[in-house]
Structure formats: C-alpha cells, structure tokens
C-alpha cells in the first residue's frame, strides 16, 4: 500500500491504524505527487491510501477499510 500523507491529524489516524494492523506501506510526502493522485479521484486533501490493486481511497474510505 501507499499512504500519501502530509502528517496532518487525519493522516496520523490512518498511519496509526495501518501500524496497529501490521500493514506495511510506503509513505509518499511529495506534495506534487499527492496533488496529482488526489485529482484522479476528485479530492483536494490528504491522506490518500492506495491499495495494492491500485485503488485510491480518500480518508473516509481508508478509515472504513481499516476498521473492517
């Protein structure tokens, strides 16, 4: 998985959940890349979580996934 993060409070929530579940992830902090990926799903904020199958999730979707 890839976590596109600015280390904001919402980003930290997703980081903690990934770590608590023992899920390995690559951290992406490059703002240009975050903006580019965010635009593909029509959002303008981080965090974004890219799953291993290439699906990009916004905060709410990522939170739902990690809570299940």
Secondary structure E strands in the chain: 2-4, 26-28, 48-50, 56-57
Distance (Å) of CA 25 to CA 14, 17, 28, 50: 11, 11, 10, 9
For the chain, domain boundaries: 2-67
| pTM (predicted TM-score) | 0.93
Q: pLDDT by residue (tens digit) across 36-66?
A: 999 999 998 999 999 999 999 999 999 999 9
Measured between its terminal Cα atoms, the distance across the chain in Å is 16
Superfamily of domain 2-67: Glutaredoxin (3.40.30.10)
- CA dist 58 and 5 (Å) reads 11
């Amino acid at each position: 998985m890839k976590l596109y993060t600015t280390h904001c409070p919402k980003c930290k929530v997703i980081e903690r959940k990934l770590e608590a579940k023992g899920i390995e992830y690559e951290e992406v902090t490059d703002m240009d890349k975050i903006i580019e990926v965010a635009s593909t799903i029509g959002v303008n904020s981080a965090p974004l979580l890219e799953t291993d199958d290439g699906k990009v999730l916004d905060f709410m979707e990522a939170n739902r996934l990690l809570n299940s």
